[in-house]
Amino acid sequence: MVEMYMPRHMMTLSKAEQNIVKYHRDTIRSGKVGRDEEGRPVTVYSTGIIIPEGPNKGQYVSVPGYIRDKGRIVYDEDELYNIWKNDIKSGKFPIYKTPDELNKRSQEIHTIMDQEEKDAKESMVDARLKNRGLLMNRGIG
C-alpha cells in the first residue's frame, strides 16, 4: 500500500502540481498501473502540451499522458488537450510560461513519484494476481 507521507519538496508544490502526484497515487490505488515499452510501471506519464486556446493560449500545461481508464499512453497533443480540456480550463493541472519551467518542475514532481515506484510495481502484481484469481474462480486458466 502507498505510504501517505509529505516529502519535504511536496510542500513546495502548487495545488495543480499536487494534482499530478494525486493522479499517480490514485492510479496505484486503482490497480490500473500500466507499462511502458520497457515494462516499467506507468502511473501518469506527465506530458507537456501547448495550450491552443483561451486565456492561457501559448502557455504550457502538464497533463497525464497515461489514461488509466483506457490503459494506454496518449502521445498526441491535440488528443490530450481534448481529453483534459475542462480540467486545464479549471486550473486542475499546472500551467507554465515556458517549456524550461515546465520541464524543471516536472523533474521535481517526478522525484516524488519515483520514491513510490515500488508501490506501483506491487500494484501491477496485485492486479494480475487478482485478475488471475477471478479467472480461476470461473474455471478459466
In a domain, 75, yes or no: yes
In a domain, 139, yes or no: no
In a domain, 1, yes or no: no
- Owning domain of residue 27: 8-133
Q: How far apart are the first and last CA of the chain?
A: 27
In a domain, 140, yes or no: no
Domain count, the chain: 1
- 39, containing H or E segment: none
pLDDT, position 116 = 81
Q: Is the dihedral of CA 37, 110, 70, 34 positive or negative?
A: positive
pLDDT tens digits, residue range 55-100? 999 999 999 999 999 999 999 999 999 999 999 999 999 999 999 9
pLDDT tens digits, residue range 21-64? 999 999 999 999 999 889 889 999 999 999 999 999 999 999 99
